[in-house]
Amino acid sequence: MRTLVLNGGSSSFKCWFHTLSDDALSGDAPQPTWQARIEWDQRSGLGKIRFQVKGTTTEREIPVQAPVDALPPVLEALWTGETKVISGAREIDIVGHRIVHGGIAHRNSELLTPEVRDAISKQVEFAPAHNRFELEAIATIDQVVGPAVRQVAVFDTGFHATLPAAAYIYPGPYGWLQEGVRRFGFHGISHQYASRRAAQLVGSDPASLRMITCHLGSGASLAAIRNGKSVDTTMGFTPLEGLMMGTRSGSIDPGIIIYLLRHAGYSADQLDDILNKHSGLRGVSGISDDMRDIQEAIAAGNERAKLALDMYAHRLCREIGGMLVTLGGLDVLVFTGGVGENSGPIREAACNQLAFLGLKLDAAKNAGSPVDENIAARESAIPVLVIHAEEDWEIARECYRLAGKG
């Protein structure tokens, strides 16, 4: 089954294409036949596109005003030019989309119908950096590939549908729950894959493990996973809650918002923009939302960059502690996502605080470039896994399942 996956994040779009079969599903995540990554720099008005086709990488830049502007030429590169791997758009059997938020009624993966599209649209306010782009990507598929192709919505909230009531209900008036105000949790596709892959790597049944998965990227969240199911997570009603992130504040005292509305003349829209786009690493450091830039600035003696990293690590450790208590112990700790996979200092900071559990890192492994590897020391009581994020593969598996093939 020739499967195209579109994965729109807060800082990039990823496109993934591969032909799936029963044999492929039973093994590790495959290297796709064709993939492309679009990174958009709003300040320069340029889209940077990297293609990887059958082991060959090519890069180009095109002028764009928004990430979705780059989608038509990228999609057409599947069947035209030097990156061509199929003869035409009609060869695509199914398209899977990562959808951040579908509300309460839409948590499980499903075919995109007008009703599902409407539900995604209604959640734009709660995931503004994602749902709008994802709807634009769906419309682009209609135009470039054709409205007849099957499209699938794979919801980031789905994996967290198993949260118990004590975890998903907020301690405000109970009537909030009837109004749809509750914890949803996000990054579920990543947490789902990472937990399944972790169980494979340690050679255990997922149903026997207590696991904390740390998805650390431009957005960041933790999940407490018991018996293969999410029982707690740091993101909540929106992707703004929880950890300090690249440009998002994470959890803050809600009284700050009330104070700023009453006394500092801010509007709700201004605060929304500040908390989502000008806070976190970028807001504190004044430099960047990219952890690599932060670490370079620290090496050059920048004190605000050092403060930003210290705050990031402090918040991460504090939230891991909360997940640990929820689980009542820990069998596996997992890091995934751009920061989780590539920042040894962040992993070290978190693991040092868990030494009381008998957890100990192998310094050499942590300093390297581990991929799907246990970086704990041999004497560590708990394995520490660095797992390459494979959201695209997880979405492709859901497409295959919905198509009745798996």
Q: Catalytic residues, which ones?
A: 156
Q: Phi and psi dihedrals of 229, rounded to 5?
A: -125, 145
Distance CA 286, CA 289 (A): 9
Distance CA 320, CA 398 (A): 29
Coil, helix or strand at residue 373: strand
Beta carbons within 10 angstroms of residue 161's beta carbon: 16
Q: 367: phi > 0 → left, psi -120 to 50 → alpha, else beta; which?
A: alpha
Residues 340, 240 contacting (CB under 8 angstroms): no
Residues 30, 5 contacting (CB under 8 angstroms): no
- Strand ranges of the sheet holding 12-19, from the earlier edge strand across to the other edge: 56-63, 46-53, 34-41, 12-19, 2-8, 94-99, 150-155, 110-111
